[in-house]
A and B are shown apart, each in its own frame.
Chain A
C-alpha cells in the first residue's frame, strides 16, 4: 500500500503520452498521404499505367511551373488574379458588412431590402457577367464587379444574421450598464456579430476565388483562370496543372489569412473547444 500513489501517476503519464503520440501520428498521416499519392501518380504515369499525356507526372508539372515562373507568366497571372480578387472582395465585402449590419439593426430597412437581396443572391452572380460586359465593355470593371457582387451578398447576409443572432440579454445587459446608441454598437453589437461576419469572410473568400476564376475563363486574356482555360485550348495539361495548383494555393493562403485575423480579433473563441 505504500506505493499506492505511483500506479496512479504512472497511469496519468501513460495517458498523456498516449494522447501526444496519437496527435503526432495524425499529423504524420496528414502529411504522408498526399506525398504517397504523388509518388504513386509519378510511378503510374512514368510507367504509362495511366495516360501520361493527360496525367503528366508531377516531376514534369514541377518543371513547367519553374519555367512559367522563370519567364514571368505565372507570376504575372498570379498578380493579376490576386488584384482582381482582393479589390473585388474588399470592396464588395466592406459594403456587404456595412449594409448587413444596418439591415440587422433597423427593422424598416430590413423589411424593405432583405427580401430583395435574398432574391438577388439566389441568382448566380457569374450569370450577371455578360450584362456587365455589355455595360462596361471587356475591361477590368466587369470582372471586379462580379467578384464584388458575390462578396457583397455573402457578407451582407452573414453580417445581418450576426446582428440578429446576438443574445437579446446581452443587448439588455449592455444598455442596462450604460451602453446606448453608438457605444452599444461598438461594445456589444459589433463584437457580438464578429463570429458570423468571419463565417461570411471564410465563405466569401472561397466563392470570390471561384468567381474570379470563372470570369477569367470567359472574359480575360490574363490571370490564373485564363492560364487554365488557355492550356485546355492549346492542350498543355502541364500548364493547366500549374494553374490549378496555384489557384488552390491562393485559396489556402487567403483562407489562412482570414483564419489568422479571426483568431487575433476573437481570442475568446475556440479556446475550450479544441478537443
Chain B
C-alpha cells in the first residue's frame, strides 16, 4: 500500500494542478483530447478537448448520440488511434484488451485459437495458453465449441468468444466498443448478466461505449455522457447502486431515477438516434 502511494508521488508532483483527491487512483487519463478526421478531403472535428479518467478497478460507461466520437475516444484511450491534440497518460503501462463492435474475430482460427491469440502473441507456451484459454471458454459457456470456427457460431456466441479473448489476456484495462450492438434483446440481456458477473469477479478497469442507457447504468460505476459531434463530455453521473447487481437492478427506483436524469440530460441529442434501440 505504502509502496503504491510512493510510486504515485512523482506523478502527483507533475500533475498536481489536475489531480483532485478522488482521482488519485487513475490508471489511464486522457487530457484535452481533440481529434480531426479527414474524409474525402474534408476535415471533420470528431472530439473537442475531452478529458477522461479511468480509475483503477472502476467500470465507466460512455454514452452519447451516434457519431459523437465515443468510439474514437475509446480507440484513443486504447492507443490504436492517435489524438490530433491533447495527450494520453498511462500509469505503469497497463495491458489493454479490446472487445470490438463487430467482434473482429479471426475467421481462420478456431474458437480455441481465437481465445489463445493474445497469449500466443505474448509468447506464452502452447500448453499453458490452451489451458488458460480453455478456462475462459468454459467461463463464457462455449465449452464443446473449441474446434468450431467463428462463422458457425451465433451472434451471442461470437460475442462471448470476443469477451473470452479479451479476458484471457488478463488485461489491466478492458475497452469495449458497443459489444452488444449487434445482438437481439434476449441475447443481450444474457450477456449483460454474464458481464456483470465476470466484472464483479475480476474488477478490471473497464471503459464501455454503448448506445443503451440501461446497459450504461446496469454495468457502470459511473456514466459519462457525451454531446453530439463534435463530442464533448457533457455530464458525469455516479451510479450509486450496490453490487452485486443483476437484471432486476433495472427495476430499482434509483435505477429508474438515474435513467430519467440521463434521458433529460441527453435530451434531443440522443433521443433521435436512440429511442428505437
Contact = CB atoms under 8 A, between A and B. Distances in A.
Contacts of B106: 170, 173-174, 187-188, 191
B117 A191 contact: no
A172 interface: yes
B121 A178 contact: yes
Interface centre among A173, A191, A268 (most CB of B within 10 A): A173
Contacts of A170: 104, 106
A176 B80 contact: yes
B149 A267 contact: yes
Nearest to B123: A178
A172 B104 contact: yes
7 contacts: A169-B102, A172-B80, A177-B98, A187-B106, A187-B117, A192-B108, A194-B108
Contacts of B121: 177-179, 183, 187
Nearest to B166: A177
Contact of A167 (B97, B98, B104): B104
A21 B227 CA distance: 61
Contact of A169 (B78, B100, B109): B100
Task: Name A's interface SS.
Answer: helix
**Which A-B residue pairs are the 4 nearest by beta carbons?**
A178-B121, A177-B118, A173-B104, A268-B149
Given A177-B118, A178-B122, A272 B152 contact: yes
Contacts of A25: none
B104 A169 contact: yes
A188 B113 CA distance: 13
Interface residues of B, number: 24
Contacts of A176: 78, 80, 96-98
Contact of B151 (A175, A177, A268): A268
Interface in A9-41: none
A177 B108 contact: no
Interface in B121-151: 121-122, 149-151
Contacts of A268: 107-109, 149-151
Interface centre among B101, B104, B169 (most CB of A within 10 A): B104
A167 B103 CA distance: 11
A87 interface: no
Interface in B163-182: 165, 169
Nearest to A270: B151
A173 B169 CA distance: 13
B114 to A, nearest CB: 10
A173 B101 CA distance: 11
B100 A172 contact: yes
A271 interface: yes
B78 A271 contact: no
A256 to B, nearest CB: 23
Interface string A145-176: 00000000000000000000001011011111
Contacts of A271: 149, 151-152
A169 B162 CA distance: 13
A172 B103 CA distance: 11
Interface in A166-219: 167, 169-170, 172-179, 183, 187-188, 191-192, 194
